[in-house]
Structure 1
């Protein structure tokens, strides 16, 4: 299974490089009729937000190497299968977008989100083996989960817009952002203040806010709601983490 993790990580990186239009093919923002561009919906993050993928892919490669080293415990035996699934679902999503199947991309990204939630739950049950393990494993998969939470919102919204659901866009965008904030708070509470998911969610919401406040598609109500949502998630995470540390020190 260790070999499968390494191969899956390489596949994820190679397919993303080729399928994202970095070398050949159509850039994701232009694929599927531009449905996933930074201006396609009110909850689409600005273009620079997607640079977070370089962090995620670097982390996946680092994890593939880390879990292959001797001395890894039952923790990684439990994590390998869902992590492999997450590594393969991402290139599957890219290929689906490249052939223009937006509806199918929603199914794939929801499946990816479910797998990452499973990884997150397992990581809370099987605590890190040390600081390095926490950074490489929990850090990478936490950022992956946080970003996919934001990406799922953007993907589903793009699909709904493509179907003609455009009325009340501002209201629906605000509702979605409130839900996103709720998800971020829940992840913080469940994990005792995990920083990585928070950083990715705040990153995504921050660039979403930038796109609505100063981009081509301006909607100040949505933009400031995104700012507020990011602040709420950050405060909830930091507050939970501080409270957990204090309870441990007192205990």
Structure 2
């Protein structure tokens, strides 16, 4: 009887611990607000026009069309939903969420930081920040392998949100890297063959991630989304190229097929 009572008391203590959940919701809210400001929506310069237009839709062979960035609205909405849900008793009693919160908060802060590095025209620093963000999201995907206790709500707000987040940042990392080298005068990163190499490597990394994480669909969808919009962007403009269009489209299909095949195999 005493053992059961003690276990119940420990569980209740864990469930009612508010410090980290409150810090997480405040931090994510602040990070989303900073990201909104850093995007140039109210002040500053829109990202596509910042750093001399290095990140515009026609800056490099790996730049996605402007419409691709609409995925951020879904990711931010998911982060807001996650921040609220992780305050619930179910989430506060979850070991999975306990491990996830600090990394979720860090990912939001790094994203806001990336936007400000671009506003300050610090492209090389932006690459460092986005690579760090990608590393944090890889860690988050690893943590999401732990048992889920929150049912469909947790599946959507946690696995879905951070899956999309990872998949998009993976594609964005390649685009950011190409833009930075091109802006630095490395002309090879403005050539079609090097662009094709980048698309193939991005697809290979995303496919490997799909096989490693059991074929989660959200990361594959987000990466494929980014690759598909690269294909759209290469239908016109300075870097218009049939080779890039077909390579980007094929890369998007490979990423999705890898996730589906991994799901079936699992």
With the length of structure 1 as denominator, give the TM-score of the two structures. Answer: 0.94
Residue-pair matches, total: 244
Q: Does 1:143 align with 2:143?
A: no
Q: Does 1:64 align with 2:83?
A: yes
Give the match for residue 204 of structure 2. 182
- In the TM superposition, residue 12 of structure 1 has moved relative to its aligned partner by 2.1
Q: Does 1:4 align with 2:26?
A: no
Structure 2 Cα separation of the partners of residues 8 and 218 of structure 1 = 41
With the length of structure 2 as denominator, give the TM-score of the two structures. Answer: 0.88
Structure 1 Cα separation of the partners of residues 179 and 241 of structure 2 = 17
- In the TM superposition, residue 222 of structure 1 has moved relative to its aligned partner by 1.3
Give the match for residue 191 of structure 1. 213
The C-alpha deviation readout for 1:149-185, integer Å capped at 9, x for no partner, is: 0110011111111111113721111111111111121
Structure 1 Cα separation of the partners of residues 220 and 237 of structure 2 = 24
What RMSD over aligned residues (CA atoms) do the two structures have, in Å?
1.3
Secondary structure class of the residue paired with 2:144:
helix
Structure 2: gaps spanning 5 or more residues: 1-19
1:12 touches 1:88 (CA, 8 Å); kept in 2?
Answer: yes
2:39 touches 2:47 (CA, 8 Å); kept in 1?
Answer: yes
1:128 touches 1:138 (CA, 8 Å); kept in 2?
Answer: no
Give the match for residue 248 of structure 1. none
Q: Does 1:114 align with 2:149?
A: no
The C-alpha deviation readout for 1:64-122, integer Å capped at 9, x for no partner, is: 01111112210000001111110100110111111111111011000000000000111
The C-alpha deviation readout for 1:2-61, integer Å capped at 9, x for no partner, is: 112111211222112222121221100011111111111100000000000000000000
Secondary structure class of the residue paired with 2:89:
coil
Give the match for residue 152 of structure 1. 173
Q: Does 1:39 align with 2:61?
A: no
Structure 1 Cα separation of the partners of residues 258 and 117 of structure 2 = 36
Larger-gyration structure (1/2): 2
Structure 1 Cα separation of the partners of residues 218 and 61 of structure 2 = 25
Structure 2 Cα separation of the partners of residues 42 and 172 of structure 1 = 8
Secondary structure class of the residue paired with 1:78:
helix
Bigger Cα displacement from structure 2, 234-243 vs 198-207: 234-243
